[in-house]
Structure 1
Amino acid sequence: VVSLAYGGQESRFGPDYIIPRPFDPRLIATVAPAVARAAMDSGVATRPIEDLQAYRERLSQFVWQSGLIMKPVFHAAKQAPKRVAYCEGEDERVLRAAQEVLNEGLAQPLLIGRPEVIAARIDRLGLRIRAGEDFDVVNPDSDARFREYWSAYYEIMQRKGVSQDQAKEEMRRDTTLIGAMLLRRGDTDAMLCGTLGTHQRHLATIANVIGRREGVRSFAAMNMLLLPRRTVFICDTYVNLDPGPEQLAEMTVLAAEEVRRFGLVPKVALLSHSNFGSLDTPSAAKMRMALEILRRSAPELEVEGEMHGDAALDATLRTRLFPNSRLTGEANLLIMPTLDAANIAFNLLKTATGDGITVGPILLGAACPVHILTPSATVRRILNMTALSVVEAGGVRDR
């Protein structure tokens, strides 16, 4: 936050940075509770605060706008922290996020990268974390598991045109592949990648090494948007170009499962340019077919369609158009007919009305807890996805 506000200039406490700058979130989240504690200890406070930790959490919501919606996820993650591998462990945003992860007690970070580069950047950023004490490092240039990992990778890929030499080379240079093998072999509980590179490249590696959950036919991606008046989830923002009815139904069930992790009841709208049968185009027809599949496969799910976007978010309008709708109130999970529709809608809303406050992308359908971030991911987004990954890792163990 401070670095962005001051044009990338680092703010490291010392002779040149003693008084926090106005944009420093520690002013409200750390200094205020410290003042309150001092006032209580000295007897000046006439109304002592009984729970300082709860007070800190309330203050943090003024700094991090995603704090309130993420609260149940953070709470669940703190109950049972897991190991989380960060494939771009040298990325400064990842290092800052690792510091926050440890501050919050969310996870045990595992950074993939060159130890000397990680150490130098931690020092330059003025972070307190130290390798071997606060987190572990997997060095792509020198790791005792290298032979074990490339051999296992070769076994997976030998009939897909990958030779032993290629397997060795890829295992040295592809940090997403290293993270995927860590996850596959049980050396980490969850994995985050994607701050560098394309979503498609990362997904290809995950598909080869991690694979899909049992019974799941397709991956999908969902993003959460914190808008001024509501929170909405949009799917599929990154994976399926033109999903069929079965894919749409499957991703709807997977997306609803994730929405519940945030302590919300999923209310699903299948969106289209058609309103409840007003048009008979292939796109509208597949959304109606998806609804029929969902009525049979997930009868407990509150879902309706096909409908316009305004009907999804305006219950009064929807009731006037279709009084027999099974969807009550505002929809919070919007299933789009194509990737183009989902990605365009997400980015327009994020920029025009959402102030860029998002959580995700959330990868749906993977066999293990793994998510692909984007090159524009912020420290807070990495922190949020870490918490979600930890909660998912606990769920995998419970299944």
Structure 2
Amino acid sequence: MARSVYVTGIGRGDGRQAVELGVMELLTRQVDRVGVFRPLMHSRTDHVVELLRGRYRIDLAAEEMYGLSYDEAAALQAERGPDELIGMLVDRFRALERQCQAVLVLGTDFAGTNIPDELAVNARLANEFGAWVLPVVGGHRESADTVVAEVRNAHRAYSDLGCSILAMVANRVAGRDKQEVQRRLATRPDVPVYVIPDEPALSAPTVAQVVDTTGAEVLLGDASGLARDVRRFVFGGAMLPNFLGALSEGCLVITPGDRADLLIGSLAAHAAGSPPIAGVLMTMGQSPGADVMRLAARLAPGTPVAVVPEGSFSTATGLSTLEGRLTAASPRKAETALGLFELHVDTTELTSRIELSRSERVTPMMFEHELLERARGAQLREVVLPEGTEERVLRAAEVLLRRNVCHLTLLGSEDAVRRRLAELGIDLGLDRAADDPGPGARARVIDPATSPLRDRFAERYAEIRRHKGMTVEAAQDVVTDVSYFGTLMVQEGLADGMVSGAVHSTAATVRPAFEIIKTSPGAAIVSSVFFMCLADRVLVYGDCAVNPDPDAEQLADIAIQSAETAARFGVEPRIALLSYSTGTSGSGVDVDKVRKATEIVRKLRPDLLVEGPIQYDAAVEPKVAATKLPGSAVAGRATVLIFPDLNTGNNTYKAVQRSAGAVAVGPVLQGLRKPVNDLSRGALVQDIVNTVAITAIQAQQAQQAAAELAKEQQS
């Protein structure tokens, strides 16, 4: 039987979709087949179910994830009674449960339903499903006293109805009341109570929602622009100089269609990054002329401009109650919701209470989720991103910050970075982070050319490279290079790690690390691995990025380092040193090199499982292994695959990535004293997110190793 969690509430407006998303994230970290079930719904397509289905790649048929519509349920209950209704929903739930290792159940939403005593219906369904109950109490615009009372009442109500309560969540609580509510609920009720503060970004509608609500016609703007959050509305009527002072970050400008000056002024301010707006909505059915629209398109590409037939007053009235919601079309809100959940909920405690046995198999999704969870750790790390104006890097930065993975330093001209952020409609909270750092991740921008650190770094670099004739004067120019500046930040302890390479070559990223950070004790060379996330497993490939033609000793070092890296990231190392022949079937210089490297690994690390020389198919396919190397502990089960040279490794990882649809995370550099990682220039946003998370984890591990070494030296 699958383990199930039933997320429910006591009324409308509790924002429980964020909690449902957070619980789904926890379940998918533990097992690889998680289902979603909505017993009662308003329509045949539920926006939360579709969000979860797409985000977590649930391959169940849509109809299997739904029970009945509210109208069908009311008619069935009226005709045959509540037991018949419950029985039918239980049957549908059991049919889905049999296909899953865990199920997230989404309770009723208390919104315009015709089911009497919804709370009791949710409680009975949870009991019949054998599910844990996770009640969510809304605290939006409520006092601390009211929130505390509602949580206790909800706990009592579900307990009295025989439910097994997993925990309680007070959601959308005013930030000023969070600590007080948490303190007063620390001992009563007798289950964990998590208090999540209200986050305006989650309740803010997107521009796309505004367009749908008003029936507006989009004149300019792309999908990314339409996904921007609308934090407030600014109505244009004043003359331009006075109007500009009313603009604020994330505002939607609503102005009569004949005010081309306000349109151009708003977009010009956005293009300058002061402030970046959500878009412009023009009223009265009037559109500016073609010349004005061409100028608008050049000023702020992608920024939405739309027109509605109504006047400003009726438009404002229609938008006054509009609130944002989590949907498949709002991935930014999903990242914000997950970051908020993970920041304020003890996810380790909650996972242990669900009592799910972790799958032995590590799927790509589980691997990626585990990276983000581990990267947060007990202390957020600082990762420097030298490519501060590159679109993919900035989009990845937004995800990392919303998920509270780590602090970020972007390198580049601050004006250039802000303009690029405005163009892309990305909010990294640069101003908010400076004013109020808070408990979550934050970003900052440093310009190497104007930074006060430039002189200090120049002196340090000249000292390091004095044996090569480097002077302080020459170093002044070298350290303005973003790769060198970022590497020096890591070396000097001003950042914990660096990730670059989206637009820079591998040499440009790695050379400063070789010169400044250098190899760690015990590592003969610096090498790399890719984590290859296939459909059903994660493999480690090394070395596919750094060493062109390693000799036997270097190949052995790469194998040992790669096994250690695999183990650190939850992949049990079984090493296959690859060749074009298996076992003793071949000979020649290339095969002999691999055979010698295998012998070195066995001698240096007898605790590691290693096989070589071995062909790729014998390494990963059990049937082939049974024929070519019967009885081997590695053949057919290899997880760490070591290629004999860069040509073979680089081509193989790219072939597998493209032909098998694998996610390639890396290259992850190993053997450096401090973490610096390179990106493929074809890296996707998710690749960058994963690599930054790995870098933060490496920084944690490096600090732990240094602390252990210091402790040993003291004793």
Alignment TM-score, normalising by the size of structure 2: 0.48
Among 306, 316, 319, the residue aligned to 2:626: 319
Among 227, 232, 240, the residue aligned to 2:547: 240
Per the alignment, residue 288 of structure 1 pairs with 595
Matched, 1:278 2:585: yes
Question: Which consecutive residues of structure 1, in runs of 5 or more, have no partner in the other structure?
Answer: 34-50, 56-64
- Post-superposition CA distance 1:168-216 (Å, at most 9, x none): 11112x1010011101111111111111221123211110011111121
Per the alignment, residue 41 of structure 1 pairs with none
Per the alignment, residue 203 of structure 1 pairs with 510
CA distance in 2 between partners of 1:348 and 1:198 (Å): 20
Amino acid in the other structure paired with 1:90: T
Larger-gyration structure (1/2) = 2
Matched, 1:256 2:563: yes
Amino acid in the other structure paired with 2:475: A
Q: Is the 8 A contact 2:410 2:444 kept in 1?
A: yes
Alignment TM-score, normalising by the size of structure 1: 0.84
Greater Cα shift, 222-231 or 271-280: 222-231
Per the alignment, residue 361 of structure 1 pairs with 667
Q: Is the 8 A contact 2:335 2:403 kept in 1?
A: no
CA distance in 1 between partners of 2:464 and 2:371 (Å): 34
Q: Is the 8 A contact 1:288 1:306 kept in 2?
A: yes
3-state SS in 1 of match to 2:655: helix
Relative to 1, partners in 2 of residues 1:7 and 1:118: Cα closer, same or farther, differing over 3 Å? same
CA distance in 2 between partners of 1:371 and 1:31 (Å): 26
CA distance in 2 between partners of 1:194 and 1:312 (Å): 31
- Post-superposition CA distance 1:92-125 (Å, at most 9, x none): 2222111111111110111111111111122222
Relative to 1, partners in 2 of residues 1:30 and 1:163: Cα closer, same or farther, differing over 3 Å? closer
Q: Is the 8 A contact 1:274 1:308 kept in 2?
A: yes
CA distance in 1 between partners of 2:336 and 2:447 (Å): 37
CA distance in 1 between partners of 2:584 and 2:496 (Å): 45
Per the alignment, residue 329 of structure 2 pairs with 24
CA distance in 2 between partners of 1:10 and 1:104 (Å): 21
Relative to 1, partners in 2 of residues 1:380 and 1:177: Cα closer, same or farther, differing over 3 Å? same
Amino acid in the other structure paired with 1:74: L
Matched, 1:180 2:479: no
3-state SS in 1 of match to 2:428: coil
Amino acid in the other structure paired with 2:502: T
Per the alignment, residue 74 of structure 1 pairs with 372
RMSD: 2.9
3-state SS in 2 of match to 1:84: strand
Relative to 1, partners in 2 of residues 1:396 and 1:317: Cα closer, same or farther, differing over 3 Å? same
Alignment of 1:1-399 (within 5 A): 10-11=225-226, 12-13=228-229, 14=278, 15=281, 16=304, 24=329, 26=331, 29=334, 66-79=364-377, 80-131=379-430, 133=433, 134-172=442-480, 174-327=481-634, 329-354=636-661, 357-399=663-705
Alpha-carbon deviation of 1:26? 2.5
Alpha-carbon deviation of 1:234? 1.2
Alpha-carbon deviation of 1:128? 2.3
CA distance in 1 between partners of 2:332 and 2:564 (Å): 37
CA distance in 1 between partners of 2:383 and 2:684 (Å): 17
Question: Which consecutive residues of structure 2, in runs of 5 or more, have no partner in the other structure?
Answer: 1-54, 56-220, 230-277, 282-303, 307-321, 339-349, 355-362, 434-441, 706-715
Q: Is the 8 A contact 1:70 1:262 kept in 2?
A: no
Identity %: 27
CA distance in 1 between partners of 2:425 and 2:688 (Å): 19
CA distance in 1 between partners of 2:468 and 2:337 (Å): 58
